[in-house]
Amino acid sequence: MKNRLTELLGIEYPVIQGGMSWVAEQNLASAVSQAGGLGIIAAGNAPSEWVREQIREVKRKTDKPFGLNIMLMNPNADEIAKIVVEESVPIVTTGAGNPAKYMDMWKAVGVKVIPVVASVALAKRMERSGADAVIAEGTEAGGHIGETTTMVLVPQIADAVNIPVIAAGGIADGRGLAAAFMLGASGVQIGTHFVVTKESIVHQNYKNAIIKASDIDTKVTGRTTGHPVRCLRNQMTREYLKKEEEGATLEELEYLTLGGLKKAVVDGDTTNGSLMAGQSAGLVKAEYTCKEFIEKIVGEAETLFEGKLWEK
């Protein structure tokens, strides 16, 4: 599985953990990196000093490469962008926006920059701005999403750019990993299945809800507000979608999701929380350690590459 992406990042397996707010903290990130993937700390909306501490903790736990995800809608993004340089973070992934304004500052100190994109146009712009790779994230993903499916987005972005492409959205096993390579990707980013790992600090109720979920159990709220977010369906998504249909104001809608991710991750509130998850939740059946999970999917994909068909 060594290729130009593993080479670029200095990792063993081309498996990157998603930068999930509240979920992707130092325990998860260090476990993924230590297992040979790329662990990511998500800055989310957290205070800068928390982010700095998380980076230092990952460095204490592993000497392998790791990354920091910056959610560009975060009002704190400028400050987090500087922490990347101050703390010598080797790799940055970005989401929910265009990181072009930070690119010179990061490239000057050799940070590898990997923006998440949901369109061909942004992928091309990012390559021109100096991105080292892009994550092509399909609408199957959890959280804040674009409109195009992984199946059609990945090959179009692979055709449009010369930097490595990482496929994301809908991938949770070795079939997905193998398929990503077939579509022209050099690796995958996985979120949902990493929520349900032994090292993940997520409340057991949230993990159980993902394990129990079937193929049709995610819903997208906020399509009308311009901020589509995919979550497991629950009372919050039902109320949100009903209010959205009734033409509720942005304030009324935002009230429903206020602190929703913390409710889900920390309190285990599966009724009112925002249980962000991708459509791959239907493929998640059990809790593994990060090492078990990465080795499982890599083994499955290698079996498929040997020309053997998938067997139950």
Residues that bind ligand TUI (CB under 6 A): 21, 71, 95-98, 116-118, 122, 137, 143-146, 229, 261, 276
Q: Which is nearer to ligand TUI, 36 or 273 (CB)?
A: 273
Q: Is the dihedral of CA 176, 178, 183, 184 positive or negative?
A: positive
Distances (CA, A) of 240 to 10, 145, 205, 216, 265: 43, 17, 21, 18, 19
Give Cβ neighbours of residue 67 (< 8 Å, ≥ 6 apart): 16, 19, 29, 38, 39, 40, 41, 89, 90, 91, 92, 93, 114
| Tokens 């200095």, located at residue | 10
Q: Which is nearer to ligand TUI, 277 or 283 (CB)?
A: 277
Q: Which is nearer to ligand TUI, 32 or 301 (CB)?
A: 32
Residue showing the smallest CB distance to ligand TUI in the complex: 143
Q: Which is nearer to ligand TUI, 264 or 301 (CB)?
A: 264
What residues pair up with 81 in beta bridges, in sequence order?
none
* Beta carbon of residue 146, minimum distance to ligand TUI (angstroms, whole number): 5
d(CA 279, CA 302): 24
* Beta carbon of residue 287, minimum distance to ligand TUI (angstroms, whole number): 22
Asked if 225 and 240 touch (Cβ cutoff 8 Å), the reply is no
Q: Which is nearer to ligand TUI, 133 or 304 (CB)?
A: 133
* Beta carbon of residue 66, minimum distance to ligand TUI (angstroms, whole number): 18
* Beta carbon of residue 222, minimum distance to ligand TUI (angstroms, whole number): 8
Q: Which is nearer to ligand TUI, 15 or 178 (CB)?
A: 15
Q: Which is nearer to ligand TUI, 34 or 139 (CB)?
A: 139
* Beta carbon of residue 137, minimum distance to ligand TUI (angstroms, whole number): 5
CB atoms within 10 A of CB 117: 27
Q: Is 176 helix (H, G, I), strand (E, B) or coil?
A: helix
- Smallest CA-to-CA distance from 186 within 10, 13, 18 is with 13
Long-range contacts of 243-252 (CB under 8 A, 24+ apart): 250/225
Supply the Cα-derived Rg of the chain in whole angstroms.
18
CB atoms within 10 A of CB 69: 24
* Beta carbon of residue 220, minimum distance to ligand TUI (angstroms, whole number): 12
* Beta carbon of residue 268, minimum distance to ligand TUI (angstroms, whole number): 17
